[in-house]
Structure formats: C-alpha cells, structure tokens
Amino acid sequence: MRIEVMFLTLKVFSSTGGIEKVCRIAGKAILENCTRYNKRLKIYSMYDKPEDAADNPYFPTEIFTGFNVRKLSFIRKVLVQGRKSKIVILSHVNLLLVGWLIKKLKPSVKIVLIAHGIEIWDPLSKRRKKMLNCCDEIISVSKFTRNKILEVQEVDPYKCTVLNNCLDPFLPLPKNVAGSAELRKRYGFNESDKIMFTLTRLAATERYKGYDKVMEALVQINNPRVKYLIAGSYDAAEKIYIDALIKSLQLEGRVVLAGFIQEEEVAAHFTMSDCYVMPSIKEGFGIVFIEAMYYNLPVIAGNADGSVDALQNGELGILVNPDSVDEIKNAIESVLKNRNSFLPDQEMLAAHFSYESYKIKLNALFSRLQAWKFEN
C-alpha cells in the first residue's frame, strides 16, 4: 500500500514532555485531515517501541511504527517510503538529515518541519542550514520561535508559518476533575493556604523556567499562607540546588517539591491551585500555560519568549519581566488579592487554542502546499 503522507518523530509516547505531547496531538490532527481527503498516513518514531502506542486514543496503532532506537533501520525505512510519499512532516530539527535525503531522492516531495523552541534558536551549522532550506514549510509554534529562525537561520520568511500549539482533546473536563482536597492533604496544605503552582522538569538546563525567581519573590510576600508547589521530575544535582535555595531563603514549609506526577493527576493539581506561575525566558510556546488556563487558573508568565503567544500578548494572563523579582512578586500579590479579576477568558482560550481550531489551521496550511491535490 502506498503511503502518501509520512509523519516522522523522535518520540511520541515514551516521554511526557511538551514536544511529545505536540506530536501526539499533531498525529491525530494530521490523520483526521488525511482521512478527510482519502490520503494514507504513516507515523514513524525513531525511539519509541511499537508497544508504546498500545491503547493510545490519538490514532490507530496500525499506522504507527516505533523503531526502538534502531536508527539505521529507521533511516532505511523512511528513505524507501519517502520516495513514494507526497508530503513528509518532520517533528524535530534533528530529523532534518532524513528530510534532506528524501528531498534529494525525490525533489517533488513536500518537506514540512515543526519548530518548537530552543532546539532551533541557535545558529545551525552551514550544512544543517542547507538542510533547513530544503524544507518547503517551517511551522513555528510561536511568533517568538519564527522570529528567532528568521534572525539566525537565514530562511526565506515566506516558508515560515506560525501555528500555535493547542489543547489536548483528551484533557479531562474541569467539571469531572476530583481529588483536589486529597492533594492538599498529601502536600500538607491547609484549606486556607494559597497555592502557586509550577509544572516543569527540574534540572540545571531547565532553570530558565524561572522557579528560582519565584522563590525569591515568595520571600518578599509576607504571608505564610502563600505556598509554592513545584512538580516535575528532577535530577539529584538540581534537588540539592533547590533544597539549598529553600534553606538560604528560609522558605522551609512554604516551598514543596512534588517530584514527578502521573498524567492522570495533572488536572487535579491545576484545580487545587490558586495560580500558575512560570516566568520563563526560553519557552518555545508553553503548552502547560494553556492547560492551566483550561482549568481556569490565573497564569503568570514571562514576556521574553513564546509564552507571549500562549497568553495572547497578556489578554489571557499576566506577562512579567522574567528577570524582575519585583514584577513577579507584584503579579502574584495582585492575583491573590483579587483572583476573579485574573481568571482567563474561556471563549478566547477556545477560539485560539482548541483542538478543532488547530486542525482547521493545519488543513489550511497543507492546502496551501497543495498537499491534498495529488492523485491517489
């Protein structure tokens, strides 16, 4: 059977990061658009195992192949299949080589790259820039990422399109989320405590998320009922750093490290909290922001990266200078004093970031590339 559309990924199911989440959602949207036009799709993952896709709700396992780190097998397969395909979507800049090789073998194939954030913000080598320029379209998840690409990668601006990430269509409905009271007990929070929440990986390489700045701001908030919950996996070195920072700032009892939390508990953590705060400086988009807003949390984010798109230039939340502890503190105090004034506009959130809106925009992009006009 000839496959007209290929979606190439590094990981889809074997990790829980933002890029992997984007791949799952994009895979579903691409499949539904392919089905609409009677085109066949195949999704290949370099690192996932075949069984990683079992029982997933996003797309049938029959269209998914995981190569379990067998890179040569992955490359051989996609090169053979690429010569038969009409459009190839690359989920990450690290797949540029195979995209470039496919284009060399079959110049008529359309190559589309999804650009997320820091992986493409620094100048690529001369050879990789050449590979990047073979792409027919570069989908940037935010205006910030698009501007970075244009600034450092010497790409034709007409090839660069912005398509913001969207809400996972399988998120639990807010009204169906339970367990918030139990979580407060788990972390030792009282009913009267005001909870600020951050969900991110904790590592020295992830410190740009701004959780250390939030702790510095917390020192200046003279209210012991204001607590800070940081959730996400952490390495040993970062745990030592954070524990030392908590001690030096005398925040024992006010900052709680939750560690990794299961996907099925994320929604309850949002609904338990009073405010989501992550003043990052290197966020490509920040899908966690729109998820927090979906659960009606006021959001505080940095104004120096892709977070600006997620918060719609401040219309959906508060944007602060991520380097200013005072601005972070003032934003937190404003939310806690009058939380209802900072609740996100759910209609605006849905208009910009719903799955259906994303699927329509993706279809329009592929239509512009004439992706659906080839013959079966």
Secondary structure (DSSP) of 100-162: HHHHHH-TTSEEEEEE-SGGGTSPPPHHHHHHHTT-SEEEESSHHHHHHHHHHS---GGGEEE
In a domain, 60, yes or no: yes
CATH assignment of the domain containing 115: 3.40.50.2000
* 123 and 180 both lie in a single domain: no
* 41 and 161 both lie in a single domain: yes
* 127 and 247 both lie in a single domain: no
Q: How confident is the model at residue 368 (pLDDT cuts 50, 70, 90)?
A: confident
pLDDT digits (tens, 9 = 90+) for 163-187: 999 999 999 999 888 888 899 999 9
- Would you say residue 238 has pLDDT above 90? no
| SS3 category, 89 | strand
* 69 and 195 both lie in a single domain: no
Closest CA to 332 of 200, 186, 198, 207: 198
What is the spatial distance between Cα 352 and Cα 358, in angstroms, rounded to a whole number? 8
Q: What is the mean pLDDT of residues 218-239?
A: 93
The torsion angle over the Cα atoms of residues 52, 58, 61 and 64, rounded to 10 degrees, is -80
Q: How confident is the model at residue 374 (pLDDT cuts 50, 70, 90)?
A: low
* 198 and 134 both lie in a single domain: no
In a domain, 375, yes or no: no
* 159 and 212 both lie in a single domain: no
| Cβ 28 vs Cβ 9: under 8 Å | no
User: What stretches of 250-341 adopt beta strand conformation (E)?
Assistant: 255-259, 275-278, 299-302, 318-320
What is the spatial distance between Cα 334 and Cα 194, in angstroms, rounded to a whole number? 13
* 158 and 20 both lie in a single domain: yes
In a domain, 22, yes or no: yes
Averaged confidence pLDDT in the chain: 94
* 220 and 150 both lie in a single domain: no
* 319 and 347 both lie in a single domain: yes
CA atoms 328, 329, 331, 336: torsion sign: positive
In a domain, 373, yes or no: no
pLDDT digits (tens, 9 = 90+) for 183-203: 999 999 999 999 999 999 887
* 178 and 80 both lie in a single domain: no
* 335 and 362 both lie in a single domain: no
With b meaning 16 or more CB within 10 Å and e meaning fewer, what string describes 156-167?
Answer: eeebbbbbbbbb
In a domain, 253, yes or no: yes
Q: What is the mean pLDDT of residues 308-330?
A: 98
In a domain, 332, yes or no: yes
Q: How confident is the model at residue 328 (pLDDT cuts 50, 70, 90)?
A: very high
How many domains, in total, are found in the chain?
Answer: 2
| Cβ 41 vs Cβ 125: under 8 Å | no
In a domain, 376, yes or no: no
Closest CA to 128 of 152, 102, 100, 108: 100
Return the DSSP state at 190: -
* 194 and 89 both lie in a single domain: no
What is the spatial distance between Cα 55 and Cα 10, in angstroms, rounded to a whole number? 20
Q: How confident is the model at residue 337 (pLDDT cuts 50, 70, 90)?
A: very high
- Would you say residue 73 has pLDDT above 70? yes
In a domain, 239, yes or no: yes
pLDDT at 376: 44
- Residue 86 domain boundaries: 5-166+354-368
Q: What is the mean pLDDT of residues 305-310?
A: 98
